[in-house]
Chain A
């Protein structure tokens, strides 16, 4: 955790690594499970890619990284589809929040959120950076999931 200079902002980061083969094994040929993890827009994007499971793994890692930065991990009310990763025209990933994750962000004063993704044939990694207004450090539980 860190505080941005000149601003009453608390910064928190989250990072996650996902094995592409493992993710593929869990979701291949299972449309319902894919829809549990990814929004329609994310699925449309990934399915249009030659190595679609690499892209799915990167998006799953991003969702996990965001929830780690929130300090919650996946909790019983949050859905993976509450964190949606879309690409802007220049290819830069952008996160849209919905449902319980959006409510959490609003209640706790999320000011900004950014993610960065990278993937190879074997692994996908994502890092999330969040900034919060007036969220004390002791409010943030330790999250490892």
Chain B
């Protein structure tokens, strides 16, 4: 497979009209780089063209939640459970379960998704692994 890290960085730079130097592995796509939803589509489209790995925007959510049912991933107030936080640590290693469980709402998780998380997901999919 092509250089995934490089392809992800290039896709982000082109879709968001950023200099590649601004795109660090720990930068979050939405808050730090300012990606909006249509940007996300553009980024995934460019990654597909460069690597052959097709990821739909809706796949991101499935990957993040890892097949854990909603009622186990978050509680009645939509706050991430310990189980949800432990899973997030696997796909988003920069997260600290003690800072996520009982504190972060499910709908906010996407805002924590980083450049490195995206590259890891592309590698995961490129290796034929599921989300």
A-B pair number, CB within 8 angstroms? 68
The docked-state distance in angstroms from the alpha carbon of A104 to that of B56 is 23
The docked-state distance in angstroms from the alpha carbon of A26 to that of B45 is 7
The docked-state distance in angstroms from the alpha carbon of A145 to that of B107 is 12
Do residues B37 and A64 form an inter-chain contact, with CB atoms below 8 A?
Answer: yes
In whole Å, how far is A109's beta carbon from the nearest beta carbon of chain B? 14
The docked-state distance in angstroms from the alpha carbon of A74 to that of B58 is 10
Q: Which residues from chain A contact B35 at a C-beta distance below 8 Å?
A: 145
Q: Give the interface size class of chain B.
A: 20 to 34
On chain A, the number of residues with a Cβ less than 8 Å from chain B's Cβ atoms is 25
In the complex, A120 has a CB within 8 A of chain B: no
Q: Which residues from chain A contact B110 at a C-beta distance below 8 Å?
A: 73-76, 145
Do residues A26 and B38 form an inter-chain contact, with CB atoms below 8 A?
Answer: yes
Q: Knowing that A77-B61, A145-B36 are A-B contacts, what are 10 other residue pairs whose CB atoms are under 8 Å apart, sorted by A's residue number? A: A67-B37, A76-B107, A77-B65, A77-B107, A80-B37, A104-B107, A141-B107, A144-B30, A145-B37, A145-B110
Which positions in B face A, CB cutoff 8 Å? Answer: 30, 34-38, 40-42, 45, 56-58, 60-62, 64-65, 70, 105-110
